[in-house]
Chains A and B, each alone.
Chain A
Amino acid sequence: MRPKLAYSFPEEVLEHVFSFIECDKDRGSISLVCKSWYEIERWCRRRVFVGNCYAVSPATVVNRFPKVRSITIKGKPHFADFNLVPEGWGAYVGPWIKAMAAAYPWLQEIRLKRMVVTDECLELIAKSFKNFGVLVLTSCEGFTTDGLAAIAAHCRNLRELELRESEVEDICGHWLSHFPDSYTSLVSLNISCLGNEVNLSALERLVSRCPNLQTLRLNRAVPLDKLANLLRGAPQLVELGTGAYTSEMRPEVFSNLAEAFAGCRQLKSLSGFWDVLPSYLPAVYPICSNLTSLNMSYATIQSPDLIKLVSQCENLQRLWVLDYIEDAGLEVIAASCKDLRELRVFPSDPFGLEPNVALTEQGLVSVSEGCSKLQSVLYFCRQMSNVALLTIARNRPNMTRFRLCIIEPQVPDYLTQDPLDAGFGAIVEHCKDLRRLSLSGLLTDRVFEYIGTYGKKLEMLSVAFAGDSDLGLHHVLSGCDNLRKLEIRDCPFGDKALLANAAKLETMRSLWMSSCLVSYGACKLLGQKMPMLNVEVIDERGPPDSRPDSSPVEKLYIYRTVSGPRLDMPGYVWRMEGDSALRIS
C-alpha cells in the first residue's frame, strides 16, 4: 500500500486523465474525492449543466469554473409547457449572460430551455464571445428577430442556431441578411418556430454558401416550390425540416422536388410537412430507407398516406406522428420499422369529445410487440386497459421513458372499469430501467405504492388527477430513490406526506404541486425547517397571509438551491420563510 501514490501524479497528468471524463455525474464525483482533485477538476471543467437556473447563482458557477466553454441552463418548470406557470414567473437568462460575458471571453456554446431571453441578451452574446459557435434556444421567449439579427451580424464563427419551439416576436424576415457574405460556417439552422416569412433569397444564398450545413429546419412560411432550390444548394444535408408541404398541383414542382430529394443522399431526418398535400409525398420516397428520424406531427394527412410513407422507412429509429396513424398504421410500423426506439403519437383533436380517429391502446401494444428496441414512448389516446399495459410492460422491459396521456382525466380501464393501477404497476415492475413516467387515467393510491416499490431508477414523474390521499405522495417520496423531478396537478395530496418527507426534497431538483391540498401553514413550516430549499407559493388570488393557514395554496414550487431566495420573484410568488411569507416590495 502506498498512500502517497496519487500525489506522484503531476497536475497535468491528472488533468489529462480528467479530459477523458465528460459525464457530469463523474465530474461531480471527481470533485468530491479530495482537495487536490477538486482544485484540478474545477480548472479543467469545460462544460457545465445547470438544471435549474435558481439552484445556483451565476457568480458561483463563474467563480468555481473559470474555463468553461459550454453551458446549458434550464429555467421554468416543465408544467410551464401546459400554461400552468403564469406570465412573468422568472427564468431570466440576463444575469447569466452578464456574468459569463465578463468571465468567459472564450465561451462557445449556450443552450437554454424554458428561459426568458431578451434582445439585449442576444446582443450581449453576439458582442462578448469572440469564438461563439452554438446557440440553442428550446421553448424560450422574450426576444425578437432583431436579436437574431445581432447574432447573425457578429458571430463570425457561429455553427449552430436553433430555435426549437421558442416564441419569437417576428418583426422582420430580413434578419437573415445580417449574416455577412463572408460567413460560411453554418452547420445547423432551425427556424421552424418563426411565424413570418424570412427573406428567401437571403436564405438561399446562405444555404448554398455554407458547405458544412447539415441541419436545416425551415418554417411554415417557406413555400414548397422554393424547397427544391434550397435542397440543390445543400445536397449534403443530413436533417431537413420542410416548410408548408403544399402547392397547386403542378407537375414541374413535383418532379423538381423529387429530383432534389433524390440528390440528398445523406438525409437521415425529416420534419415539417405543414399542410401536407398527399400527392407530393412520393417525392420523398426515394430517401425513405435512409431515414432514422421522421417527424410528421404537424402533418394532417390520413392513415393510408401515412402508412405508405412510413412503411418504406425500414431504418426508422424515431417517429413523431399524429394519431391519424391509427391502430392500422401502428401495426404496419410494428412490422416494418424494426429499429424503432422512440414513438410519439400526438392528438389531432384533443378538445373533441368523441374520438375522431381509430387509435386505441391496441396501436401501442402492436408497436411494443413488433419493435424490440422501443424504449421511449409518448402516447395520446382515449382509452386504455390494464391488460394492454401489462402486455406492453412484458413486451418491453427495456422501456426507459413511458408517458401515457389518456386525454380525458380519470378514465378507468375501459374493459373492466377498474382503475389503471395494476397496468402502471406492471410498467414500473417490469421496466427496471424506467427513468421517466407520466400517468393518466383513473388511479388510486395503489399505483403510487407500486411506483414507490418498483420505481427505483425513476427520475421524473408526472401526475395529474390521480390518487386518493397523502399516502400516494408518501409512497413516491419515500420509495423512489432516484427521483429528481416530481410534478403534480389536481391531486388530493396535502401536508402530511410532504412534511414527513421534507428531507427528500433536498435530494431532488424540484417539486411542483398545483391544485392540490397543501396548506399555507405547511408551506411556511417547510420553508422554516428547510433553509436549503426555496419554497415558493404561487397564488394569483393575493397574499397568502390574507387567508387562514389551513387554506390550500394554488401552486407550489419547491426546489433546492445554494443561492438562497431569488431576487426576481413577481408579485404573485411568495417565498416561505419562518412565520410568514416574505415579500420585499
Chain B
Amino acid sequence: MSETDLAVIKPEMMKPYVWLQTSDDSIQQVEQEIAMFCPLICQEIIQKGMGSSKNCAICLPQQVSPAMLSLILDYCRFHQVPGRSNKERKSYDEKFVRIDTERLCELTSAADSLQLKPLVDLTSRALARIIEGKTPEEIRDIFHLPDDLTEEEKLEPLRNITADPRIRLLNRLYAKKRKELKERERLKNVEVEEEHVDDRSVDDLLSFINGNDGDPKGVKTSKNKKKNRRKKEQQKNSSLKEASELNKKEVNGHDIRHQSSEAEIISETSYLHYAEDDAFTSKPEFDDGDIDDEIDPALKEKIDREVEDFARRLNSDWPERMQELLSSGQERKTVLFTADGFIRRHA
C-alpha cells in the first residue's frame, strides 16, 4: 500500500504512531511504519481501523509481553531499512538470536502470534540448533518439559498384532510346539537336570543381567526400565553372594516362568525406540556401557577369572580345533571376496 492510498482510505492512518496493548495490559505508542511490519498489526490497522488512539489500542496476543514487543520492534526497525546488504542483515540476525533459550522461546511464540514469518524462521532455526546433538533429558531440561512418556508408552505395544493372520497362526504353532517340547522335557528330565548343573557358572554370569527375572511379570517390561534396572543392579551387587545362591535355586522356577510369559511376549510384543539406524532412530532407554561400571569389583574379578579360566581350558584343546577349522576352511581362506573374483567396490 502506498502512502497516498492510505491517505485516501483513512486520514487517521497517516499518523506516525500506533497504540499497542501488550500482555500486561500496558499500552504504548509505537512508530506505525515499524509496527506495520507485523502482519497481524497491519491487519488490525487496515481491516479493523484499530490503534489510532489509546482508547482503541490494538490488543496484541497473549504471547507478546512488553519485553518481547521491544525486541520485535528492534528487529523490524533494523530490517525495514531498505539499504542494508544481505551480509549486514545476516550478521544482525545472528547476533539477534544470541539470547538465552527461555527468551528465545518467548520470542518465537511472540513472533508467531504476530505472524512475522521471517523472525519465526530465524528463531526456529536457532532453536533447532539448540536441540541438535542433545539427549532427550537435556532437551527436557532446557525447555522445562515434563518427562511424561511412561515406560509403557516408550514401549508402545504393536497395535493389532494378533489381528495379523500370520501372527495368529504363528502363535498357534508356537503353542503347539511348546506343548511338544514340554512333553519331551518330562521324558528327558534327568538329562535336563544334568545340563543345569553344568550351566550353573554361566547362570552366575547371567544373574546380574537377568536381575529382572526376579520380576514374575516376565522379562519384557522390567528389562527396559533404566532406573529400575540400575537400582536392581545396585541392590543385587550389595547382596551378591546371596543372590547367586538364590539364582541357582531359581533355575528351574525361572524356566517355567519364562515359558508362561512367552505367550505374553508373542501376543503383545512391545518394542523400544532404538538408537539411530535400526528402527527409526530413537535412543535406547538404557546405556549398557554403564552396566560394567556398576558391577561390584569382586564380581568383575570373578567374571574375568572365569573368562580366563575358560580361555585356558579352550586353549588346551585349541590346536585340534584349529586343525579342524583350517582343514575345513582351507578353500575359504582366500574367499574374502565374491566368487567371480570381483571385489565389491561398495562393500
A interface with B by C-beta (< 8 Å): 1-6, 8-10, 12-13, 16-21, 23-35, 37-38, 45, 48-52, 55-57, 59-61, 63-65, 74, 78, 81-83, 138-139, 164-165, 295, 297, 320, 344, 346-347, 350-351, 405, 407-409, 445, 464, 468-471, 474, 478, 481, 484, 490, 492, 494-497, 499-500, 502-504, 506-507, 509, 515, 517, 521-522, 525, 528-529, 531-532, 549, 560, 562-565, 567, 577-580, 582, 584
Within 8 A of A (CB), among B105-145: 105-106, 108-109, 112, 120-121, 124-125, 127-129, 131-136, 139-140, 143-145
CB of A56 within 8 A of CB of B278, answer: yes
B245 to chain A, nearest CB (A): 19
Residue B39 interfacial (CB < 8 Å): no
Known contacts: A29-B139, A295-B345. The answer to whether A495 contacts B202 by CB under 8 A is yes
Chain B window 263-307, contacts with chain A (Cβ cutoff 8 Å), 1 for yes, 0 for no: 001100111111111111111101111011000000000010011
B271 and A563 within 8 A (CB): yes
- Structural contact, B335 and A82, CB atoms closer than 8 A: yes
Q: B residues engaging A (CB < 8 A)? A: 63, 102, 105-106, 108-109, 112, 120-121, 124-125, 127-129, 131-136, 139-140, 143-149, 153-154, 158-159, 164, 166, 170, 173-174, 177-178, 181, 185, 195, 199, 202, 205-206, 209-210, 219-220, 223, 255, 258-259, 262, 265-266, 269-284, 286-289, 291-292, 303, 306-308, 310-312, 314-315, 318, 321-322, 325, 329, 332-339, 341, 343-347
Minimal beta-carbon separation of A14 from chain B (angstroms) = 9
In angstroms, Cα B63 to Cα A564, docked, is 48
Q: Which of A3, A65, A509, A549 contacts B278 (CB 8 A)?
A: A509
A32 and B128: CB pair below 8 A? no
A10, A31, A347: the one contacting B112 at CB < 8 Å is A10
Residues of A within 8 A of B202 (CB): 495-496, 499, 522, 525
Q: Are A30 and B139 in contact (CB under 8 A)?
A: yes
Q: How distant is A291 from chain B, measured CB to nearest CB, in Å?
A: 17
Q: What separation, in Å, do the CA atoms of A494 and B315 have in the docked complex?
A: 11
- In this complex, what residue of B is CB-closest to A24? B281
Q: Interface of chain B, helix or strand or loop or mixed? A: helix
Contacts A5-B143, A51-B276: A470 and B112 contacting too (C-beta < 8 A)? no
| Assembled-state Cα–Cα distance A81/B342 (Å) | 10
Distance in angstroms between the alpha carbons of A351 and B331 in the assembled complex:
11
Contact indicator A560/B274 (Cβ below 8 Å): yes
CB neighbours of A506 from chain B (8 A): 284, 288
Closest Cβ neighbor of B290 among chain A residues:
A481
Taken together as a complex, chains A and B put the C-alpha atoms of A521 and B199 apart, in Å, by: 10
Q: How far is the CB of B220 from chain A (nearest CB, A)?
A: 6
A507 touches B315 (CB 8 A): no
In addition to A61-B280, A578-B262, 20 A-B residue pairs with Cβ atoms within 8 Å of each other are A16-B120, A16-B121, A21-B128, A24-B277, A25-B275, A29-B139, A45-B280, A63-B159, A83-B335, A469-B307, A478-B292, A490-B332, A492-B321, A500-B205, A502-B209, A506-B284, A515-B329, A515-B332, A525-B199, A579-B181
Q: In the assembled complex, which residues on chain B have CB atoms less than 8 Å from the CB atom of A82?
A: 335-338, 347
Q: From A13, A29, A49, A549, give the contact of B134 (CB < 8 A).
A: A29
Cα distance, A515 to B335, chains bound together (Å): 14
How far, in Å, is A436 (CB) from chain B's closest CB? 12
Known A470-B307, A578-B178; judge A60-B259 contact (CB<8 A): no
The docked-state distance in angstroms from the alpha carbon of A521 to that of B249 is 20
Q: Give complex CA distance A48, B281 in Å.
A: 8
Tell me if A29 and B283 are in contact (CB < 8 A): yes
Closest A residue to B314 using CB positions: A469
Query: 4 closest Cβ contacts across the A-B interface?
Result: A562-B271, A51-B277, A469-B311, A28-B281
Q: Determine whether the beta carbon of A32 is less than 8 Å from that of B311.
A: no
| A31 (CB) vs chain B CBs: closest residue | B282
Find out whether the CB atom of A28 lies under 8 angstroms from the CB atom of B280. Answer: yes
**CB<8 Å pairs between A and B, sample of 11:** A13-B109, A32-B154, A35-B153, A65-B280, A407-B336, A499-B205, A500-B206, A532-B271, A562-B269, A564-B269, A578-B262
Given contacts A56-B271, A60-B271, A83-B338, contact A582 B177 (CB under 8 A): yes
